[in-house]
Structure 1
Amino acid sequence: MRLTILRHAPSLAGGRMAGRRDVAADCSDLAGLARQAARIGGGGRIIASPALRCRQTAAALGLIPDRLEPALWEQDLGAWEDLAAEALPDLGPLSMSALARHRPEGGESFDDMAARVIPVLQALERDSVLIAHAGTVRAALSMVVGPAALSFAVAPLSLTVLRRAGEVWAVETVNLRAGD
């Protein structure tokens, strides 16, 4: 089974954290959208996060989701929502495992988010395309590399592809950007 995950087009969050905030996407990169749509091709079942930015990206790609899956929402950043990146607290040196467990006040940790995303991915029975978030991509990667998935760059409008044979997942492609 092939799992293709497309991170939504750039969010219009004004450079602020937009985990669970429902912000729009900038779908003006028509060439990039066309390139990624061609790469996706007939990739199978289409599943999207219900976030506006994901639904807009799907529409811009000419894709109609078979379902909107609430479990694919981005990580809830709690007190960090709507903060500029430079305003985030300095957590000091943390191991990847400790970072994955860290929970912003009122939010969820990466591990919490992965615990709701991974069962959806494991339940897929045929080739599927997800239109989702960077956190969703990293949760999928964590099935192969564990908390080290937090170290992967996931650009807006990039593709990540995993394959499953039986219960074993393998990474085929990570962060294939629209301009690549």
Structure 2
Amino acid sequence: MNELDDFIQNGLPTGISPAFIEDLKRQSRLASLNKDEVIADEYIKDRQIYYILKGSCIRYIINSKGEERAVMFHTESFMPMVGNMYVGSDGSVVSYRLKTNEKTMLLCLNRSFGEEWIRKDSVFADFIFQNAIRYLSTVNQIQNHLLGLTSEEFLKWLYSNHQTIFRRFRSKDIANFMGLTPIWLSNLKRKIVKI
């Protein structure tokens, strides 16, 4: 069984239209990317939606100096839908970029595919709605804890609630996400282990 068949069998809700599945097979393509490849960049308007079937990526903001700051982590089981579906940053001095964290297999679709099937299939529409709510809730919760807790408290909370991040992503990216140096993160980790 290939990754697309596995996604259709295990990643989609039951009751979805057979016509949707046929159209998905016809309009999608699979892409295999190596570590550190760019999936999407705000300035490349490709209107693509990517669903991580296997692997992981990091969403960065890029500041006016061109420096990357990790703002979210994505895996096949943790917020797997990514791409140029975000609201643009018109009037902003930052932009975003998505890069692979490891060898990654993506399901690639034009955004119009999702827009069309949201109107045509209520099961798919509900699937997208539930995923969007889960995504926004997760992002909001992580941001609230990152801003509202000390670095040590946040690290404990993140480890307790999202251990996948620590298993799949480099310490330097987690440190970057927290606004810390890798050395400071390492010191915090040692301190937490002692407690």
Instruction: Name the TM tier (shorter chain).
Output: under 0.3
More helix by proportion, 1 or 2?
2
More strand by proportion, 1 or 2?
2
TM-score by length of 2: 0.24
Larger Rg: 2
TM-score by length of 1: 0.25
Larger RCO (CA within 8 A; separation ≥ 6): 1
